[in-house]
């Protein structure tokens, strides 16, 4: 049904779109899984309906795909939904691919041949054919543009008859100078030179040595600089004038110029013209500097194609019309053309109109020649020819057609553009003048040879691709080798070794030659021949010692303190290692600075406030402090700001500071306690040493009574415990102390335990001084030195022994009394049943020794 | 210039202060190398009497400020810490002050069960000695294995709970070594009380 009338297809596709949209909408209206589907699916009617519909839809899909000639199969019983979708996607892809193919074909209807381009095999190694085939096949589906691989220069199949057997430079003995010497202009005869005075020569007197002759003319100047400086576009070019329609290509004669006679003829014809269009075809793959392959010239009536190879040295005779300021030359995008004409033929241009620049000034959406010709002439130029090899001879006819078309329409386009420019310009013709100015600038370009940049490989080194010093060395050397080889062999660097392969080799640093070859696919011919040299470079690179890589990060990681350091600490010495990560360390050191001191004080008090907050929470008992805390908080914050409150808040602050100064922190209390304890210990030690000192003064000559009285004296000086128990009273009455009844060890234990018994009320119990162990007697010194008087049993109340000492008032955290009781009990036990347990343990014999 | 800055010698790091001889010992902010005492930090020179137990008479210190300020808890320091939470084996604390200097940011610390008391170290129950939100005085006895927290010990008389909060939410007053009493409700709670005098009695109405 689909006839070849486009409107039908449009209407059809529109209706299909509408139908699809409706279908999608209704599909979205169905209950979704997780939403309503489960509920609805529980109704058998619904699930039956769904199954039936599903079968129907699958059938439809299958039929559709069959109609569309799609090869993918949809499995009939759909088990896996994912698989089903994958198949659908596959089918879609294949359909779209074919659509793309067909569209390409449709567009390329004007193409005489199928655009799958094979390659002229001479230029490349065998393996290149496969790759270039793939190179050119891929762009078909992806885009309408031809592959932009300028390096893989392919020839169109029409050129299969013509091959490059020898390089034109060789074949036609074109002199090539790839050395680093500066470019020598090839201008032989200066036509149409403007008469002028000879250049000014100034003599500069140098301070050191003689004189320098400076001339304002130098070799790097443009030979027609003076002429171009004084160049003005002729008046006719600035008039609206007429637009001459171009002749159809078929009716325009094409002259192929490849001999000196034809060239001279052309020159004479051109000299009589008012304007002509020029275009240049250039080749830059198999030549280091590049090679101009073709010059196209079009007049209003005739198209000329000049093959410069046979007449290379004579091309300069075209200079005459080219530098004639009365004849207009029309170019398009002539920046490079100027260079090429200069370099190869010594042809310069005066009075030029660049349509590309005009288009830019007129702010066209695109600036290409295709667009221009398409716009004004409704012709489409096949730009694929731009990338082909123009060196091939004989030049195929389609090449010639393409070449002439480049200039054929140009004059007409120039007319149109001129008119448009004049329409858009103001009364001073600014736009068109601007075009001429820009064109003149282009004319003034002076060609200079590309210098070898030893550091040119830097552009490969990106952040992503960081190379170590070995790889960098290899890269540098390979870069240099490539340039050398290219110059020597007169090939482009891309032909010698493409960039990506260069980088690959430098990165991989293959140890063997095979490795180098493996990096290159396809292998360039010159790599094969120079394999040994490359290998040497790689080996040299590998031998280099590996250096640590410098981190070239823009912002090296800084220490967390750095920011604060720089802002606050004025002594920022690297030797100062006391800087820690703590804020507290970073303080303003200039204490003379009042404001800073204030800030520090504020900070300290705010911290103190926090501390107090944690300690004294909201409690009615300390509401005094609470109010103080609140006031301090109020004071601390607006202290920096509001001035009218400053007086009161400052007063508050000072009063708070005073109260804070009075407040004792826990640490202060601790220090008090510790110092007290230490004082006590000091006193004790002093008393001890005193006691021992005193004892040492005794001698056997001293009366016993004197000795006897001393212990009593010592005991009486300490603070008397008011709560004397009955037992103690009794003991005093008798004249014995409990201490006397104990052995040294027991006495020591007792003393130790008693030391621990202190209560929170901070009352120190009297701790009698520990007697130094002078004699190792079992009985304490008290017994030895005590004056044991006979007991007066008449006054003796015997019931004092029956009373147990009450230890209710004392606080015994270690429960020493119970411990003692336990030990005493055990002792008693042992005494009773000493035989039973002790026999097994020989150790206890000493313990119970005295009991035996 | 304020009056607080006395005419003390200002040192810069690396400045040679004294010979490392009989009377001088290198203290905070200084280091001793090759027989001399050098300043490590910039600040004012202080020569203070050595604490008891040191054989040298005076300690040379370089301090930023007049008062002895600390930045980090050091081994053996007496710290004021706040108990954050307790577990069966230890109590997690946050060190607020070191000595008398308040830290700018708190440090984490652990008070292990066996370090709470000097005696009967294993039979201690943590919840009967400290509770969350208590303020304790403790001594730093070490750095943790993972070096993220200090280890504390209250196994001394003067160390332990200084301030506490009762279950009712009010201040606790110590009544004995092991008990504190709520100021409002009168409930007694068990704590390991620090044997320090309460010198703020006149300001607080307890």
- The residues with which B140 forms a beta bridge, in sequence order, are B152
Contact A116, A136 (CB under 8 A): yes
- Which among A615, A663, A678 is the top mutation candidate for probing chain B, defined by the most B β-carbons within 10 Å of its own β-carbon? A615
Does residue A479 or residue A579 have the better pLDDT? A479
Confidence band for A206, pLDDT divided at 50, 70 and 90 = low
Which tens digits make up the pLDDT trace of A3-45? 455 568 888 989 999 999 999 999 888 888 777 888 888 888 8
CB pair distance less than 8 Å for B195 and A814: no
Given a cut of 90, is residue A574 above it in pLDDT?
Answer: no
Is the four-CA dihedral A579, A582, A585, A586 of positive or negative sign?
positive
Angle between helices A410-424 and A397-408 (to 10 degrees): 20
Residue A647: predicted pLDDT: 64
- Phi and psi of A647, rounded to 5°? -60, -55
Confidence band for A717, pLDDT divided at 50, 70 and 90 = very low
B15 touches chain A (CB under 8 A): no
CB pair distance less than 8 Å for B196 and A666: yes
Which tens digits make up the pLDDT trace of A166-178? 888 888 888 888 8
How far, in Å, CA of A167 to CA of A173, rounded?
10
CA-based max dimension of chain A: 171
CA-to-CA dists, residue A830 to A826, A845, B49, angstroms: 6, 11, 56
Q: What is the mean pLDDT of residues A465-476?
A: 84
Is the four-CA dihedral A321, A324, A327, A329 of positive or negative sign?
positive
B10-63: in CATH 3.20.20.70: no
Confidence band for A587, pLDDT divided at 50, 70 and 90 = very low
Measured in whole angstroms, the distance separating CA A801 from the mean position of its chain's CA atoms is 93
Nearest CA in chain B to A673: B196
Confidence band for A516, pLDDT divided at 50, 70 and 90 = confident
Residue A785: predicted pLDDT: 59
Does residue A184 or residue A220 have the better pLDDT? A184
Residue A848: predicted pLDDT: 42
Average pLDDT, chain A: 73
Q: What is the mean pLDDT of residues A279-288?
A: 91
Does residue A124 or residue B25 have the better pLDDT? B25
B91 touches chain A (CB under 8 A): no
- The residues with which B93 forms a beta bridge, in sequence order, are B83, B109
Residue A580: predicted pLDDT: 44
- Which among A570, A656, A670 is the top mutation candidate for probing chain B, defined by the most B β-carbons within 10 Å of its own β-carbon? A670
- Phi and psi of A359, rounded to 5°? -65, -40
Quote the tokens at residue A452. Answer: 């070898």
Quote the tokens at residue A342. Answer: 């200069």
Quote the tokens at residue A545. Answer: 């010692």
Tell me which residue of A556, A325, A297, A514 sits closest to A408, measured CA to CA: A297
How far, in Å, CA of B112 to CA of B86, rounded?
10
Q: What is the mean pLDDT of residues A214-226?
A: 69
Quote the tokens at residue A682. Answer: 């000091």
Contact A446, A342 (CB under 8 A): yes
Fold classification of A225-443 (topology level)? Nucleotidyltransferase; domain 5 (3.30.420)
Contact A345, A292 (CB under 8 A): yes
A656 burial via Cβ count (<10 Å: 0-12, 13-18, 19+):
buried
Given a cut of 60, is residue A606 above it in pLDDT?
Answer: yes
Tell me which residue of A515, A453, A170 sits closest to A312, measured CA to CA: A170
CATH-assigned architecture of domain B78-190: Beta Barrel (2.40)
What would the 3-class secondary structure string for A434-475 be? Answer: HHHHHHHHHHCCCCCCCCCCCCHHHHHCCCCCCCCHHHHHHH
Residue A330: predicted pLDDT: 94
User: What is residue A174's DSSP assignment?
Assistant: -
Contact A417, A359 (CB under 8 A): yes
Q: pTM higher than 0.80 for the full model? A: no
Residue A453: predicted pLDDT: 86
Does residue A329 or residue A40 have the better pLDDT? A329
Q: Give the percent of chain A with pLDDT over 90.
A: 15
CB pair distance less than 8 Å for A582 and B203: no
Residue A297: predicted pLDDT: 94
Could you please report the per-residue DSSP string of A666-730?
A: HHHHHHHHHHHHHHHHHHHHHHHHHHHHHHHH--TTS-HHHHHHHHHHHHHSSPPPS---HHHHH
* Tokens 């109609």 found at: A67
How many CB pairs lie under 8 A apart between chains A and B?
149
Q: What is the mean pLDDT of residues A533-553?
A: 79
How far, in Å, CA of A281 to CA of A295, rounded?
6
How far, in Å, CA of A102 to CA of A95, rounded?
11
How far, in Å, CA of A521 to CA of A126, rounded?
11
Q: Give the percent of chain A with pLDDT over 70.
A: 59
Angle between helices A623-636 and A594-615 (to 10 degrees): 150
Strand ranges of the sheet holding B58-63, from the earlier edge strand across to the other edge:
B10-11, B43-49, B58-63, B24-26
B187 touches chain A (CB under 8 A): no
- ipTM over the 0.90 cut-off: no
Q: Strand A352-354 and strand A328-331: pairing?
A: parallel
Domain ranges of chain A: 31-109, 111-154, 225-443, 456-543, 561-590, 594-663, 669-691+727-828
Q: Please tell me the least confidently modeled range out of A401-410, A678-687, A753-762, A785-794.
A: A753-762
Q: What is the mean pLDDT of residues A817-844?
A: 46
Given a cut of 80, is residue A284 above it in pLDDT?
Answer: yes
Residue A59: predicted pLDDT: 87
- Residuewise pLDDT in 10s, chain B (206 residues): 343 445 678 889 988 888 887 888 888 888 888 888 899 888 888 888 887 777 878 888 888 776 666 777 888 889 999 999 998 888 999 999 898 888 888 899 999 999 898 888 888 899 899 999 999 999 999 887 666 789 999 998 889 999 999 888 888 998 988 899 998 888 899 999 998 888 776 554 43
CB pair distance less than 8 Å for B104 and A582: yes
CA-to-CA dists, residue A129 to A152, A495, B198, angstroms: 10, 16, 98
Q: Given this chain, do its domains B10-63 and B78-190 carry the same CATH topology?
A: yes
Most confident of A131-145, A195-209, A560-574, A750-764: A195-209
How close A575 comes to chain B (CA, Å)?
A: 7
Q: What is the mean pLDDT of residues A529-533?
A: 90
- The residues with which B137 forms a beta bridge, in sequence order, are B80, B160
A667 Cβ contact list (under 8 Å, min separation 6): B78, B80, B97, B99, B100, B137
Q: What is the mean pLDDT of residues A502-507?
A: 88
Measured in whole angstroms, the distance separating CA A663 from the mean position of its chain's CA atoms is 55
Contact A479, A456 (CB under 8 A): yes
Residue A57: predicted pLDDT: 87
Is the four-CA dihedral A352, A353, A354, A360 of positive or negative sign?
positive
Confidence band for A306, pLDDT divided at 50, 70 and 90 = very high
The angle formed by the CA atoms of residues B98, B101 and B107, to the nearest 5 degrees, is: 45
Class of domain A456-543 as given by CATH: mainly alpha
Could you please report the per-residue DSSP string of A774-814?
A: -S--SB-HHHHHS--PPP-GGG--GGGGTSPPP-SSS--TT
* Tokens 């220490």 found at: A559
CA-to-CA dists, residue B16 to A229, B26, B32, B35, B41, angstroms: 77, 12, 9, 10, 12
Which tens digits make up the pLDDT trace of A611-660? 666 665 544 444 444 455 555 555 555 444 444 455 677 788 788 877 77
CB pair distance less than 8 Å for A674 and B158: yes
Residues 53-72 of B with CB under 8 A from A: 64-65, 69, 71-72
Tell me which residue of A280, A303, A302 sits closest to A293, measured CA to CA: A280
How close B40 comes to chain A (CA, Å)?
A: 6
Residues 105-124 of B with CB under 8 A from A: 105, 119
Residue ranges with strand state E in A336-431: 352-354
Which tens digits make up the pLDDT trace of A426-460? 888 888 889 999 999 999 988 888 888 888 888 87
Which tens digits make up the pLDDT trace of A334-384? 999 999 999 999 899 999 999 999 999 998 998 999 999 988 888 888 888
Give the containing element (helix H, strand E) for A380.
Answer: none
How far, in Å, CA of B54 to CA of B128, rounded?
38
User: How many residues comprise chain B?
Assistant: 206
Confidence band for A803, pLDDT divided at 50, 70 and 90 = low
Domain ranges of chain B: 10-63, 78-190
A329 Cβ contact list (under 8 Å, min separation 6): A275, A276, A277, A278, A322, A349, A351, A352, A353
- Which chain A residues contact residue B188 at CB under 8 A? none
Residue A303: predicted pLDDT: 92
Residue A217: predicted pLDDT: 56
User: What is residue A113's DSSP assignment?
Assistant: S
CA-to-CA dists, residue A175 to A291, A490, A831, angstroms: 11, 11, 131
DSSP tally for chain B: helices H, then strands E: 0, 16
Q: Please tell me the least confidently modeled range out of A226-235, A747-756, B190-199.
A: A747-756
A629 Cβ contact list (under 8 Å, min separation 6): A609, A612, A613, A616
HSE value, Cβ hemisphere, 13 Å, CA-based, for B131: 16
Residue A646: predicted pLDDT: 57
- Which chain A residues contact residue B206 at CB under 8 A? 621
A175 touches chain B (CB under 8 A): no
B74 touches chain A (CB under 8 A): no
SS percent in chain A: helix, strand, coil, step 5: 55, 5, 40
Confidence band for A197, pLDDT divided at 50, 70 and 90 = low
């Amino acid at each position: 049904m689909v006839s070849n009338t486009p409107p039908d297809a449009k209407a059809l596709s529109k209706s299909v779109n509408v139908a699809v949209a409706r279908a999608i909408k209704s599909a979205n209206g169905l209950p979704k899984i997780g939403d309503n589907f489960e509920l609805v699916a529980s109704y058998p009617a619904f699930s039956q309906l769904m199954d039936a519909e599903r079968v129907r839809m699958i059938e439809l899909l299958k039929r559709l795909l069959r109609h569309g000639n799609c090869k993918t199969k949809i499995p009939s019983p759909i088990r896996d939904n994912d698989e089903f979708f994958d198949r659908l996607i596959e089918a879609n892809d294949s359909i779209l691919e074919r659509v793309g193919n067909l569209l390409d074909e449709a567009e390329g209807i004007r193409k005489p041949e199928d655009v799958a381009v094979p390659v002229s095999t001479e230029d490349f190694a065998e393996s290149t054919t496969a790759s270039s085939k793939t190179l050119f096949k891929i762009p078909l589906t992806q885009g309408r543009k031809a592959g932009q691989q300028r390096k893989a220069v392919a020839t169109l199949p029409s050129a299969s008859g013509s091959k490059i057997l020898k390089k034109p430079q060789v074949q036609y003995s074109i002199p090539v100078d790839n050395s680093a010497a500066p470019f020598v202009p090839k201008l032989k005869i200066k036509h149409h030179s403007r008469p002028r005075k000879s250049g000014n020569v100034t003599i500069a007197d140098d301070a050191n040595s003689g004189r320098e002759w400076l001339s304002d003319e130098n070799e790097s100047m443009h030979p027609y600089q003076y002429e171009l400086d004084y160049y003005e576009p002729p008046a006719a070019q600035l008039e609206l004038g007429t637009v001459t329609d171009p002749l159809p290509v078929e009716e325009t004669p094409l002259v192929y110029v490849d001999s000196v006679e034809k060239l001279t003829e052309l020159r004479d014809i051109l000299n009589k013209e008012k304007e002509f269009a020029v275009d240049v075809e250039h080749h830059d793959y198999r030549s280091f500097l590049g090679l101009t392959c073709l010059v196209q010239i079009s007049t209003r009536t005739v198209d000329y194609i000049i093959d410069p190879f046979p007449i290379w040295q004579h091309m300069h005779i075209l200079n005459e019309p080219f530098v004639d300021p009365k004849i207009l030359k029309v170019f398009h995008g002539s920046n490079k053309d100027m260079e090429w004409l200069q370099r190869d033929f010594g042809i310069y241009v005066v009075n030029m109109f660049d349509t590309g620049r005009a288009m830019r000034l007129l702010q066209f959406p695109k600036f290409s020649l295709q667009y221009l010709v398409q716009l004004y002439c409704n012709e489409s130029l096949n730009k694929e020819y731009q990338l082909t090899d123009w060196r091939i001879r004989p030049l195929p006819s389609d090449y010639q057609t393409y070449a002439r078309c480049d200039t054929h329409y140009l004059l007409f386009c120039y007319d149109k553009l001129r008119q448009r420019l004049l329409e858009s310009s103001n009364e001073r013709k600014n736009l068109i003048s601007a075009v001429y100015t820009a064109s003149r600038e282009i004319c003034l370009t002076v060609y200079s040879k590309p210098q070898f940049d030893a550091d040119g490989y830097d552009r490969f080194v990106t952040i992503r691709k960081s190379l170590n010093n070995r790889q960098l060395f290899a890269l540098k050397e390979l870069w240099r080798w490539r340039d050398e080889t290219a110059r020597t062999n007169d090939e482009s660097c891309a032909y010698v070794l493409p960039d990506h392969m260069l980088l690959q080799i430098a990165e991989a640093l293959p140890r063997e030659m095979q490795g180098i070859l493996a990096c290159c696919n396809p292998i360039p011919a010159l790599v094969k021949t120079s394999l040994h040299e490359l290998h040497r470079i790689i080996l040299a690179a590998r031998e280099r010692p590996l250096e640590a890589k410098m981190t070239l990060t823009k912002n090296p990681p800084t220490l967390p303190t750095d920011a604060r350091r720089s802002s606050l600490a004025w002594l920022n010495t690297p030797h100062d290692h006391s800087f820690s990560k703590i804020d507290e360390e970073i303080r303003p050191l200039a204490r003379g600075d009042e404001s800073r001191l204030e800030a520090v004080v504020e900070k300290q008090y705010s911290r103190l406030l926090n501390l107090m907050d944690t300690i004294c929470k909201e409690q009615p008992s300390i509401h005094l402090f609470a109010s103080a805390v609140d006031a301090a908080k109020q004071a601390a914050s607006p202290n920096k700001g509001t001035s009218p409150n400053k007086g009161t808040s400052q007063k508050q602050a000072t009063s708070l500071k005073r109260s804070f100064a009075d407040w004792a922190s826990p640490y202060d209390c601790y220090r008090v306690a510790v110092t007290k304890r230490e004082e006590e210990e000091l006193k004790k030690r002093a008393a001890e040493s005193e006691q021992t000192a005193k004892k040492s003064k005794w001698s056997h000559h001293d009366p016993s009574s004197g000795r006897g009285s001393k212990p009593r004296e010592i005991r009486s000086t300490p603070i008397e415990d008011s709560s004397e128990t009955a037992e103690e009273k009794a003991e005093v009455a008798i004249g014995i102390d409990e201490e006397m009844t104990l052995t040294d060890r027991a006495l020591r234990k007792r003393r130790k335990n008693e030391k621990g018994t202190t209560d929170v009320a901070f009352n120190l119990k009297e701790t009698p001084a520990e007697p130094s162990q002078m004699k190792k007697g079992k009985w304490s010194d008290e017994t030895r030195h005590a004056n044991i008087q006979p007991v007066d049993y008449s006054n003796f109340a015997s019931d004092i022994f029956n009373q147990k000492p009450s230890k209710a008032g004392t606080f015994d955290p270690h429960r020493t009394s119970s411990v003692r009781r336990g030990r005493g009990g055990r002792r008693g036990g042992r005494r009773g049943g000493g035989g039973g347990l002790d026999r097994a343990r020989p150790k206890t014999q000493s313990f119970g020794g005295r009991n035996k | 210039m304020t009056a607080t800055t006395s005419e003390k010698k200002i040192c810069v790091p690396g400045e040679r202060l004294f010979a490392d001889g009989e009377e001088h010992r290198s203290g905070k902010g200084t280091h001793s190398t090759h027989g001399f005492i050098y300043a490590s930090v910039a600040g004012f020179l202080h020569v203070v009497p050595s604490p008891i137990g040191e054989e040298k008479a005076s300690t040379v210190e370089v301090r930023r400020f007049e008062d002895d300020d600390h930045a980090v808890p050091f081994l053996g320091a007496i710290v004021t810490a706040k108990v954050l939470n307790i577990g069966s084996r230890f109590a997690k604390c946050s060190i607020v002050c070191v000595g008398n200097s308040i830290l700018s940011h708190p440090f984490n610390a652990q008070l292990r069960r066996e370090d709470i008391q000097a005696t009967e170290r294993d039979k201690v129950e943590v919840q009967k000695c400290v509770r969350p939100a208590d303020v304790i005085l403790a001594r730093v006895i070490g750095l943790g294995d993972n070096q993220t927290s200090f280890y504390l010990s209250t196994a001394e008389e003067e160390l332990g709970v200084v301030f506490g909060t009762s279950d009712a939410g009010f201040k606790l007053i110590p009544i004995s070594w092991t008990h504190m009493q709520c100021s409002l409700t009168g409930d007694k709670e068990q704590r390991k009380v620090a044997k320090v005098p309460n010198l703020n009695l006149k300001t607080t109405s307890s």
